Amino acid sequence: MANEKIERVRQILQGKGLDVILFFSSENLLYLSGYTGGEGILGIAEDEVWLFVDFRYFEIAQEEARDCEVRLLKKGLKEVREFLRERNFKKIGLEAKAITLFEFEQLHDPAFDFMPLSKELEALRVKKTPEEIRLIKKAVEVAENAFKEILKVVKPGIREIEIAIELEYQIKRKGSESLPFQVIVLSGERTSLPHGVPSEKVIKEGELLLFDFGARIGGYASDETRTVFLGEVEPELKRIYEIVRKAQQNALKVIKAGLSFKEVDEAARKLIEDAGYGNFFGHGTGHGVGLAVHEYPSLSPDSEGELEEGMVITVEPGIYLPQKGGVRIEDLILVKKDGVEILTKLDHHIQI
């Protein structure tokens, strides 16, 4: 499998007329070599592959990295620059979204012709193999089992941060290797913050609770959001909940291989706009999930591209009313030739 992945990189190499492509993200280091250390640089050329790591990661890289030569860095990126110069490489592709300006300055050499690569590399991981899908499904199962434990203890009088800490603990206790992102637990008017941070706020009867959470298995992430009713909530919040639910169902009904990213977003967004809440839905309808919790594609009004069979994406419309409250429902789905397989299994309507 690793050889096949590297060969796909070499097709990009040849198509762009490059001598070597350098990867910097932990996700691509894992995907292309099996190395889990996170920090390092992977170089793929026509006939050779190298993984550069410093002393802290050298032993584990030697144990884990497949189909590549592991090289010990003693002088940082300047040493990589010298290595490339010795190989007489001129045209060098860079994983543009993962290299910092500082790192680029250390690599820079007048003899090199750098080419930033983004979409070309994003496409490498977009279609999931059966094994990748199995790992994502397991991550979903772990996260949902943890969430079910949390629902047993949620009650008025508990702080958001207490619930978040317990949820994170349960996710790890159930088997997650790490947290793919910081758990979001928001209540009341704070649910209008799409990516708010759990606070000292005490939750109250009659409020909405918003949970955004996931797990990681074999490097692969899950991502799911549920909006929970703590008792009876006011009519407008019930109304926007139903609008979001229907918007998500609209999107799920149309999704299949070949549909444009824009069309998925439009299927959810139009219903929200027609209900008069378009100005309160300010993010895309979904995104890809895999080794990174946010990866290609993005499902938004200006996204370019089409769904492919084997993509794993979120569908997560929302409405956020400042100082009042917000609703988001997020499911993880597998794109099929003629529809979807919904990977997340929790009920949508949850009332405590």
What are 220-265's pLDDT values in tens digits? 999 999 999 999 999 999 999 999 999 999 999 999 999 999 999 9
In one-letter notation, the amino acid at residue 84 is L
Q: What is the pLDDT of residue 3?
A: 81
Report d(CA 36, CA 29) in Å as an integer: 8
256-266: string of b/e by CB count within 10 Å (b at 16+)?
ebeeebbbbbb
What is the distance between the terminal CA atoms of the chain, rounded to a whole angstrom?
46
- For the chain, the residue count is 352
Report d(CA 140, CA 259) in Å as an integer: 25
Q: Is 130-351 a CATH 3.20.20.10 domain?
A: no
Three-state SS at 164:
helix
Residue 163: enclosing H or E segment and its boundaries?
helix 160-173
Where are the chain's structural domains?
2-125, 130-351
Q: What is the pLDDT of residue 1?
A: 45
Short-list 112, 114, 108, CA closest to 89: 112
In one-letter notation, the amino acid at residue 85 is R
Q: What is the pLDDT of residue 2?
A: 47
Percent of the chain with pLDDT over 70: 99
Q: Can you identify the CATH homologous superfamily of domain 2-125?
A: Creatinase/prolidase N-terminal domain (3.40.350.10)
Averaged pLDDT of the chain: 96
